[in-house]
Structure 1
């Protein structure tokens, strides 16, 4: 439990998970499945981008209603929302590029600006961007909006790199993996700001996962392993379900937060000195 100053009047649960190795593992699987599932619904089922986007957005709304009803981190509700928001974020970028013919460079810039604006409004409202203190509806709303823009931005940036440099699935995945390793070194050994490090890695795991998802699912003549979107999605879905069950049984990722009672009720912003 984090140290606090003054009298502690309330102890609440963080509504999102602690950042652990399991967190990054399942997040990477979720974005990989998001890429292959979006391709399956859009192309192989023949629904098209518009119908797929509307259907998945409606399902995402239902998942987020379930998530917001929780007053603590519940793995099933949280990770279902992540998987669905991964799919929807991918579809938003795909719609802009394919249906509205917005260049990838423009979408990358636009989603970068949208993400920065979200963080700015979040900090102005709450005086913190801590992911260890998401215990009010307003903070959680900012959190999920930022998550949505990270997926849309990661899709645009990943596609931009893949198109511009034509590296192929494996090389693109290795490139983003090396960038993530560099950020990890910066965080653990060079004093990189933890909030900045977290969100940069969160963005970059999207193109990393998508690259390996495409590598597994795409036909061999296009540089993939030829497993197809159904098999690839099923593999990662089964892995996600297994880890979620493990997290639920072990209560892994749950965080208790000691805060002032008025802050717990959302009546005042965060106290100074909270950890990021």
Structure 2
């Protein structure tokens, strides 16, 4: 069993380099790109299922999800491009998974929301019992990374169903849904910053809420005015979000400003002490 306070360097893996941290530093850039990725997951899914036969779109979404996740797992350490590509792919397929339950199987949004919430709780419970920590600062083994991505996938699916629940089942519309989730996401931020709440609980609570918030923003921008949207269309919204994500991830890939400190120190080239002096 690995210690929750540090990496296990007693064994190596072909999937993940021992001790390498696989997730970015949690700072403002993380939340900005995460919010954009949740929005593009919604608009990307909606665009694909309307541009082609829905079963084909879902199959392509699944293939993209598996390919991006495999690329991320095999990277051996945190790399901005592979990590955020995996997040976007999870976002698109997670949206499709939630929509399939409602559209194809006829499952009401409250039921699908509860189902994915139970799935997420099960992932967290098994992760905690196995690794004794849910901190993303300890994602440094293949098993922990798989737990992490299972949790991420569940948050995307649950968040999609939750956003649709408020917009459709509660008849609040997209604008009101955006306002509700924008207020809700401030609660863990305030609790962490000023009230001393548990940082792991605050992180995962905010992480879950970013999904319905981002999806509601994407729907509000894309959907027609007669259903409380702005009416830009899924394609234009997808293109705008894609440009923004590419620009921000390019910045992160070049500056490496979101690489966690221990991994940055390990991967940085050693300086010649004579030159440094």
TM-score band, normalised by the shorter chain?
Answer: 0.7 to 0.9
Report SS of the residue matched to 1:132. Answer: helix
**1:46 deviation in Å?**
3.0
Q: Summarize deviations over 1:5-64 as a string: whole Å, max 9, x none.
A: 9xx999933111111100000011011111111111101x1321x221111111111111
Q: Is the 8 A contact 1:111 1:149 kept in 2?
A: yes
Q: Is the 8 A contact 1:38 1:91 kept in 2?
A: yes
Residue matched to 1:204? 209
* Pair 1:39-2:39 in alignment: no
Q: Summarize deviations over 1:131-165 as a string: whole Å, max 9, x none.
A: 01111110000000000000011011111122233
TM-score, structure 1 as length reference: 0.86
* Pair 1:127-2:122 in alignment: no
Residue matched to 1:19? 26
Residue matched to 1:94? 99
Q: Is the 8 A contact 2:39 2:211 kept in 1?
A: yes
Give 5+ residue unaligned stretches, structure 1.
Answer: 259-276
* Pair 1:233-2:238 in alignment: yes
Q: How has the CA–CA distance of structure 1 residues 190 and 224 changed in structure 2, closer, same or farther, with 3 Å as cutoff?
A: same
Q: Is the 8 A contact 1:216 1:225 kept in 2?
A: yes
Rounded to whole Å, the distance in 2 between the matches of 1:84 and 1:137 is: 19
Q: Summarize deviations over 1:177-210 as a string: whole Å, max 9, x none.
A: 0011122111111122111111111111111111
**1:170 deviation in Å?**
1.3
**1:85 deviation in Å?**
0.3
Residue matched to 2:227? 222
Residue matched to 1:271? none
Q: Is the 8 A contact 1:13 1:254 kept in 2?
A: no
**Paired positions, count:** 251
* Pair 1:156-2:161 in alignment: yes
- Point out which structure has higher relative CO (alpha carbons under 8 A, 6+ apart): 1
Rounded to whole Å, the distance in 1 between the matches of 2:236 and 2:31 is: 22
- Map 1:65-104 → 2, pairs under 5 A: 65-104=70-109
TM-score, structure 2 as length reference: 0.86
Q: How has the CA–CA distance of structure 1 residues 255 and 13 changed in structure 2, closer, same or farther, with 3 Å as cutoff?
A: farther
- Map 1:109-124 → 2, pairs under 5 A: 109-124=114-129
**1:92 deviation in Å?**
0.6
* Pair 1:64-2:69 in alignment: yes
Rounded to whole Å, the distance in 2 between the matches of 1:57 and 1:74 is: 22
Q: Is the 8 A contact 1:73 1:253 kept in 2?
A: no
